[in-house]
Every structure is written in structure tokens, then in C-alpha cells.
Amino acid sequence: MSIRIGAHVDGADAVAQAQAIGAEVAQVFLGDPQSWKVTGSGYPGGEEALREDAAAAGIDLYVHAPYGINVASTNNRIRIPSRKLLQATLEGAAAIGARGVVVHGGHVTGKDAPEVGFDNWRKAIDSLDTDVPVLIENTAGGDFAMARHLERIEQLWAAVQSSTNASVVGFTLDTCHAWAGGIDLATAVADIRAITGRIDLVHANDSRDTAGSGADRHAHFGAGQIPPDLLTGVIAAAGAPVVCETHGDMTPDIAWLQDRLV
């Protein structure tokens, strides 16, 4: 199987780290993921150097947007800065030649109609100026999340597809998030594709917690609660590039997948 497998790495040492763990794909942050600023990868020589070195090494780059982004929010003090930060992240991703920017689906509050959040997503996509794909990621928890349950993902997808910039929107399937969020992994790929028609990237993670727990706690493969055959089945069926996001040494995780996806 020709699925390209990689991991989240430190942007300042992205190429060397990816090579050291046998990764063909490298996901990076462009600054502190808890910050509201894009400061860059920190790579020696700057973003052009990272772009050139990754290309020379045959490594595909992706960017994960900061965690605070919530373009669905009805709070102007969150939604407007979120849009600006997403645009800045996309510009930074373009500078390093990234193939996409992963961004969480966000949420509204219990006082809000979910439809408002979906329409805020449409408006956010309308406002973007980018050729870099925005890869919306399903999330693990939250009763008012935009992208936890399949019904919500369907509503969110319909909203962003009505945008004038719909062509830049893609989808990231996170296996831990799907498991924790209550999505049946046995049918997850078919269910998501029935909604979106695509899966552009897979975040391949085992889960520390039980199915439907709502807990976003990644685990190394074989050390979590997801049955190994179920986990590899999802990844094989998706057929998209893979990013492993467990902490510490991810060499065993990449090898674990490579051994099973043959």
C-alpha cells in the first residue's frame, strides 16, 4: 500500500526529525499552538529553507492551526480574531509549501443555535484568501461541537460547501477523536465520505479512553483502547496521508503502521 505515513514534529527541526523517525509526512505548528500569533516554524534559514529542504527530502508538509481558533463562535472577541489567525496560518503554510492546514471544527455554546455556528463557518471560508486547503478536523468532545457527531459534520459540510471558497475546504479524520466522539470506526470512512466525498488527511492515534468517552487523549498504537485491526482498517480504507500525533518517540508508531499497511 502506498499510503504516506508521518508524524507531528518540531518545526524548528522538522526535516531532520522526520528523517530520523522514518516519516514521509511532517506536520508542524507555526508558533505556539496556544498563542494567537503566527511567529513561524523557527526553522534555521526561515520558511523558504524549510520548504526547499522538505522538498529535497521528499517530505510532505502540513500545518496544524493553533488550538484557540473557533470560527464558529458567536462571540465577536473569539470569532473575529479566529478568522484573522486562520488567514495568517494559511499564509504561513503557503510560505513553507504545506499541502494543507488542519483546523478544529470549534463549537458554540448551549445558548446558541448550532445553525449559527455552521453559518459562521461559511462566512469564515468566504473571507479567506488562500490556495492552501483548509482541512477541517473532527473533534472528540463537547455537546455543542461543530464536528463531533456525524449529523453535525453533515450540517457543517453543507454550510462550507455553500461558500464561494468551497474548493479550498477538505477534511481530516482523526481516529482517536472519532472513537472518543462516538463515531463507529467500522464504518467511519464510508460515513464521512458519504458526507464530504473526501478524506484528505488522517490523524492516526490510538485512544487512552473508551469509545464515546468524549476524551481527547491520544495513546501510542497498541497502548490504547482501539482494537488494532479496527484502527488499521480505518487508515487503510481512508487511503490518505497519515500523521501520528502521540508524544515522545514516534518511530515505533510509524513502524507499527508500516508493518500493517502492506
Q: Which residue has the cell 465520505?
A: 193
The residue-averaged pLDDT of 31-60 equals 97
Exposed/middle/buried for 152, CB within 10 Å: 0-12, 13-18, 19+?
buried
Q: Is 181 helix (H, G, I), strand (E, B) or coil?
A: helix
Cell matching residue 261: 499497511
Residue 259 pLDDT grade (very low, low, confident, very high; cuts 50, 70, 90): very high
CA distance 245 to 34: 17
Length of the chain: 262
pLDDT in tens, 60-85: 999 999 999 999 999 999 999 999 99
CA distance 175 to 119: 26
pTM over 0.85: yes
pLDDT in tens, 143-188: 899 999 999 999 999 999 999 999 999 999 999 999 999 999 999 9
Q: According to the CATH classification, is domain 24-259 in 3.30.390.10?
A: no
CA distance 54 to 224: 32
> What is the model's pLDDT at position 1?
54
CA distance 244 to 121: 27
DSSP-derived secondary structure for 4-33: -EEEE--GGGHHHHHHHTT-SEEEE-SS-T
Residue 214 pLDDT grade (very low, low, confident, very high; cuts 50, 70, 90): confident
- CA-based nearest residue to 42, from 34, 31, 26: 31
